[in-house]
Chains A and B, each alone.
Chain A
Amino acid sequence: MARKLPHKDVAIIGLGWTGSILANELTDAGLDVVAIERGPWRDTATDFAISYAQDELRYRIRHELFLRNSQMSVTFRNNAGQTALPVRTWGAFMLGNGVGGAGVHWNAETWRFLPTDFTLKSHLTQRYGANFLPADMTIQDWGITWNEIEPYYDEFEYLCGTSGQAGNLSGELQSGGNPFEGPRSRPYPTPPQKQGYGHTLFAQGAAKLGYKPFPQPSGNLSRAYTNPLGVTLAPCTYCGFCEWFGCANNSKATPQTTVLPALLRKTNFEARTECEVTRINLDNTGKRATGVTFVDSSGEEYEQPADIVLLCAFSLFNVQLLLLSGIGAAYDPATGQGQIGRNFTHQTMSSALGFFDKDKYNFNPFVASGAIGMIIDEFNGDNFDHGPVGFVGGGYIGQVQTNGRPIESTAVPPGTPAWGSKWKAAIKDNYLSTINSGGACHGSMYSYRDNYLSLDPTYKDRFGRPLVRITIDFHDNEIKMSNFLTDKYAEILQAMGAKQIVKKPRKAPYDVTQYQTSHLNGGAIMGDNPGNSAVNRYLQSWDVANLFVVGASAFPQNAGYNPTGTVGALAFWAADAIRSQYLKNPGPLVHA
């Protein structure tokens, strides 16, 4: 029998970026908030101490800061004709765990989507005609516009202290910034990070070819910054152990360095760690959440009653909990019915290796941050005419090499033996003079009828509940796009003076063993009516009015950018809707 806990105004599932932002906003509004986090408490001084944070084996190869598959995993198949099998250890994506969530180990590339990304279906149909889109592509408009979300992008960037160069201030293009970005109301809170030799050479090569390079917006700060909550971050020291790692320097924007010190002081906030929410409880109408049930690390079960439930777990697990709790209808690709699980997307990543003359070039790859880099955005979104190329979508292209960590930095020219003295000589000769930017072509992935999430019929978690099952493959559209972006990147490497270039475009089928960012999205998408989405424009569940489902699970499709900026903006946007509308008048905020 579950032990019933005292009532709270708000129960938040997960204490990562969205959980932290919403907890802070709602405690400010005077509500009593509890956040329930499956993983442990994490802190800079204990978990990413400066004396042992730079440990590639422990954190990058053995993934010690990540969710252990033994605690929770997923199953995967390329299509419904296959049997999904467990992801026994992470590969294509690595999932966070603990307080701070993926916000602890991200590389802090902090982007906004394009204005047209939010009205993608209407825009592409208008420009190219409905027949230009593949018949099984299921992209949608988000139900919000750039003008509506822009102030919330601003709010997230000022929370983080994001370092960047504005490209468009209220419609006026600014030199040195991204000429394609949507108009922003004010500059970034801190100036861009400094760039290394390889990144600078890329910008020179790109400019030679007529592009407009600009520095990547970075949550690894260029200088010390105190945010509106009074929390201070330090300047980044270009240590080269950013993504996969916690920052020992307090210079990476994370919930730990931006929100938690302020949040934890509040008497109306409580966090329960190493407690896993197993179910969102509903009343007998099925339309109202009464709270959540969770299990602590000793196996004891609790019921936490609450008036508002915020589902703030990682995107995949938001969808899993909706399905396990019987909220909404599960998506069936055969009929197209059901919203929960639909429009699952990842990212379409590609790169190329650039080998340079070792006697002329020394890139010092280990001097870098997670979000360092020079970028061109000419081939993102609908920033160029797709008519002649026969695909839609795109991505930023950049020299975004984040590190020279040795185990990961053994790229050698094709034909080099995999072992022996020749291998040793090749890694020595190429280590300092190779451009090896894994995230160079950051391509979009649009949504399709047959890429979706569901519950696995066979494999269970440690509580006996079904794992979430991923069914995903690449479609021709994304493969064409990847080839295109990779070719453009290779041209820039050529202009930089590379002596040998090895192109690595993305190839089908989707492989769950090859890392492609952890940008998993969709499955509980936002939209303008319950017939096409799981949540409304405020991320409120259409089915359960006192439940909000916040995160990248809301993206109807993925864009050619890292998602966290948009995830942060949506969290602030939802918080504002709850504070200014829902609390005054609880109930559905949108009547469709």
Chain B
Amino acid sequence: MYQLTRRGLLGSSALWLLLSSSAARAAVIRGGIPWKPGAGDPPEPVTPGGWKYFTPQEAKTVEAFVDRLIPADDLSPGGRECGCAVFIDRQLAGPYGDFGGYYLAGPFVKGTKQQGPQSPVTPAQHYRKALAALDGACRSKYGGKAFAELTDAQKDEVITGLENGSLKLDGADGQEFFKLILKNTQNGYLADPIYGGNKDMASWKMIGFPGAHYDYREWIDKHNQRVTMPAVGIANHPNWSQKS
């Protein structure tokens, strides 16, 4: 039977975290549904321009990388133009980059595949290490050229090497890094544009997703018909207003 001691309460302060953004809400609620004006929590739109996490060299590498993962072609602009590198930069600068919300108590022990990720290396740290190692590997293999300086064919060779594990990175796991950057790039490409990627809803228009529409009642019975509503994102919607 566990008695909670004051020491136990405060001793684990390393894990103490703000429980939610609703610090202003009453802890004791009675007599009615609590309500106060302006208590909503809309997302903060990403404004492009500058880098909040990446160094200029890292940003160059990431832009080049996302532009091969999602090349420009007739279907849509490339990953760089779509803002995927900006998306990743802003995500890494925020809670996602720092394992926000994760259980971070040790010991950190590598387990089975089924037990999931156990590394203390955060996404932000992972990028930093892997991008440096990537440039190092490219310089060795391609006569002193960093990743961003390679031809498209060479970049694709490098990415394929990371993907299949044949290209090793010094001090980083190339395959794990490939999976991470691929996931982040595709997330940025397909997420709402408010987060910095999917500029002008390029991916949504490509696949045929109308976006943030809440009412499809007129379409549920229209079987096998193309929905004609133009694509809309959260911030283009007439209901949208930013929190002041």
Q: Does A267 contact B (CB under 8 A)?
A: yes
Contact A361 B224 (CB under 8 A): yes
Contact A407 B111 (CB under 8 A): no
Q: Does A580 contact B (CB under 8 A)?
A: no
Whole-angstrom distance from the CB of B186 to the nearest CB of chain A? 7
Whole-angstrom distance from the CB of A513 to the nearest CB of chain B? 4
Contact A420 B20 (CB under 8 A): no
Q: With contacts A51-B237, A458-B107 known, is A39 near B214, CB below 8 A?
A: no
Q: Given the complex of chains A and B, what is the CA–CA distance between A267 and B30 in angstroms? A: 7
One of B47-55, B71-79, B124-132 contacting the partner: B71-79
With a cutoff of 8 Å between Cβ atoms, the chain A residues found around residue B222 in the complex are 364
Whole-angstrom distance from the CB of B113 to the nearest CB of chain A? 7
Contact B29 A432 (CB under 8 A): no
Q: Given the complex of chains A and B, what is the CA–CA distance between A302 and B8 in angstroms? A: 15
Contact B207 A299 (CB under 8 A): no
One of A193-201, A385-393, A531-539, A581-589 contacting the partner: A193-201
Select A296's contact among B4, B27, B192, B240, beta carbons within 8 Å: B27
Q: Does A45 contact B (CB under 8 A)?
A: yes
With a cutoff of 8 Å between Cβ atoms, the chain A residues found around residue B208 in the complex are 428, 431-432
Contact B75 A89 (CB under 8 A): no
Q: Given the complex of chains A and B, what is the CA–CA distance between A77 and B109 in angstroms? A: 13
Select A56's contact among B109, B112, B192, B215, beta carbons within 8 Å: B192
Residues of A within 8 Å of B, CB-based: how many?
106
Q: With contacts A41-B34, A248-B214, A512-B114 known, is A55 near B103, CB below 8 A?
A: no
Contact A299 B113 (CB under 8 A): no
Contact-residue bracket for chain B? 35 or more
Q: Does B241 contact A (CB under 8 A)?
A: yes
Contact B186 A420 (CB under 8 A): no
Contact B27 A418 (CB under 8 A): no
- What per-residue 1/0 map shows which CB atoms of B1-14 lie under 8 Å from chain A? 11111111111100
Whole-angstrom distance from the CB of A475 to the nearest CB of chain B? 15
- What per-residue 1/0 map shows which CB atoms of B204-221 lie under 8 Å from chain A? 101111111111110111
Q: Does B171 contact A (CB under 8 A)?
A: no
Contact A239 B182 (CB under 8 A): no
Q: With contacts A40-B25, A264-B33, A366-B210 known, is A237 near B215, CB below 8 A?
A: yes
Q: Given the complex of chains A and B, what is the CA–CA distance between A33 and B217 in angstroms? A: 41
Q: Does A207 contact B (CB under 8 A)?
A: no
Q: Does B203 contact A (CB under 8 A)?
A: yes
Contact A85 B234 (CB under 8 A): no
Contact A237 B216 (CB under 8 A): yes
Q: Does B144 contact A (CB under 8 A)?
A: no
* Cross-chain pairs A/B with CB under 8 angstroms, 10 sampled: A43-B34, A362-B225, A367-B227, A409-B207, A424-B206, A431-B209, A461-B12, A461-B15, A462-B17, A466-B2
The 3 tightest CB contacts between A and B, nearest first, are A326-B1, A464-B8, A197-B223
B residues whose Cβ falls under 8 Å from a Cβ of A: 1-12, 15-17, 19-20, 22, 25-35, 39-43, 68-71, 73, 75-76, 96, 99, 101-105, 107, 109, 111-118, 156, 159, 163, 182, 186-187, 190-192, 194-195, 203-204, 206-217, 219-227, 234, 237, 239-241
